[in-house]
Amino acid sequence: MARMNKNNLRIATAIIVSGLGVFISYLINFLLTPYITDNIGIEAYGFVSLAKNFVNYAQIATIAITSFVVRYISVSYHERKMQEANEYYSTSVIACVALAGVIFISALLLITKIDLLLNVPQNLVFSVKLLFLIVFLNFVLTTAEFPNLKNYKGHDLITTDGSTLLGADDKSGVAEIMSAMEYLQAHPEIKHGEIKVGFGPDEEIGTGADNFNVEDFGADIAYTVDGGPLGELEYETFNAAQAKLTFKGKDVHTGTAKNVMVNAIQLAINYQNSLPADEVPEKTEGREGFFHLFKFDGSVEEAHTTYIIRDHDRKHFEERKQLMLDIAERMNTELGEERVVIDLQDQYYNMREVLEKDMTAVDIAKEAMEDLGITPEIYPVRGGTDGSKISFMGLPTPNLFAGGENMHGRYEYVSTQVMEKATDVILEIVKLLAK
């Protein structure tokens, strides 16, 4: 109990320090621009860039240490040498702390002697020194922000140094599946039927299951292990489509452009403005669908945009696609020729349409979690999985949690304890299906 209390105290302290660091970082960023404008002037932005480059070089050294050590920790964990892995981890922490000390001293020397090392105007020496100090402190005090960290008291978290993705989505799922298979091989006394395991690429762009052969796979039900926090059980996803648009303009000299020029960029803007302004990812939640413009490039002569269209309701989904086609047709009619070309392709559909006809796969997964004392968290996913497409191929495939948090960003992390529970759920499903 005493150990648990100490762990909780350390975690609470870390959260408080992290919060203070983030607050100070945001405050510094908020005050930095007006400070430069009022006290140094526009010429100081060159010094800002230089200061940030110093910070970036410091980060490279830290990345080198952590990347080197991670390999050895991973090998040790795989070989079940926990003491050795802990020693590697402790050594890396000490090395990073020592490096931080060296960087801090170097930074102070750089700041105090900045006027001797760089060509700084005499009237700006003090201000530039202060600017370097602000940028450096901002780097030192900024920490990774884990919004759901309160759910992981006492857990061991795997993360990066904050400069890259972790890739827990979906390396954690692969690890959990392989761990379950390894356990079954080591325990032949566990009765089970024939188990099929498959891995595929390109799930994130909706094409991972395009070449999946359901008949050759030969399973009756399946699961993807690609969810988030503990207890997630997902069988309702978006319907998804992607639209690529080409806008054809006419580029002439601006001096003689009246009634002749057709600006493809402006056509793309007009198209975007014809879509519902509030039906975008940043303004929707739950089962609300959206149009998402995520790529835009081009010139007066030709411009290109790419959208994704999402909705849980099939009827509303089809209406969204039709709206995009209608806008293109209307613009072409108004322009008197085809200047808006749209290529619209479906990506996947809401697997609920298939699974609700036979909930066996969902019910078994739910029972497995409950048997292990895990509360199933069932809600519509604002995304999709390979299971969405595979379910429509004739193989019911709901999605199980894999443990990752803050996916697709540098603040991504995963709990080893949750990963172990995910492996336990896979094993429990195997046992239930063998009855």
Residue 289's nearest CA partner among 280, 301, 276, 302 is 280
Span of 107-111, 182-186, 360-364 with lowest mean pLDDT: 107-111
pLDDT band per the 50, 70, 90 thresholds, residue 297: very high
Residues 318-324: what's their mean pLDDT?
Answer: 98
Residues 10-21: what's their mean pLDDT?
Answer: 53
β-bridge partners, 311: 239
- Residue 150 has a pLDDT of 74
- Residue 122: DSSP 8-state: G
Q: Is-cis flag, bond preceding 161, omega within 30?
A: no
Residues 6-35: what's their mean pLDDT?
Answer: 52
- Residue 95 has a pLDDT of 72
For the stretch 137-166, pLDDT in tens is 544 333 344 557 778 778 888 877 666 778
Cβ-proximal residues to 373 (8 Å cutoff; 6+ apart), any chain:
none
Are the beta carbons of 367 and 432 closer than 8 angstroms? yes
Residues 74-95: what's their mean pLDDT?
Answer: 69
Are the beta carbons of 262 and 287 closer than 8 angstroms? no
The runs of H, that is alpha helices, within 307-378 are 314-335, 352-355, 360-371
For the stretch 192-232, pLDDT in tens is 989 999 998 877 766 778 888 999 999 999 999 998 899 99
* Whole-Å CA distances, 282 to 206, 270, 297, 347, 381: 21, 21, 21, 21, 16
Of 377 and 10, the structure prediction assigns the larger pLDDT to 377
- Residue 105 has a pLDDT of 74
Residue 231's nearest CA partner among 424, 434, 413 is 424
Q: What is the dihedral of CA 43, 45, 47, 48, to 10 degrees?
A: 160
Cβ-proximal residues to 296 (8 Å cutoff; 6+ apart), any chain:
268, 303, 304, 305, 306
Reported as half-sphere exposure (CB side, CA atoms, 13 A), residue 357 has a value of: 9
Q: What is the dihedral of CA 418, 421, 426, 430, to 10 degrees?
A: 180
Of 379 and 123, the structure prediction assigns the larger pLDDT to 379
Query: Tokens for 190?
Result: 């566990």
Entry pTM: 0.62
Question: For the purposes of burial, counting CB atoms within 10 Å of the CB of 214, is it exposed (0-12), middle (13-18) or buried (19 or more)?
Answer: middle
Residues 287-297: what's their mean pLDDT?
Answer: 95
Residues 319-336: what's their mean pLDDT?
Answer: 97
Is the pLDDT confidence value at 307 over 80? yes
Domains in the chain: ranges and CATH: 2-143 (no CATH), 168-236+353-433 (3.40.630.10), 239-348 (3.30.70.360)
Percentage of the chain lying above the pLDDT 70 cut: 68
Residue 344 CA to residue 324 CA, distance in Å, equals 9
Q: Could you tell me how far CA 329 lies from the centroid of its own chain? A: 35
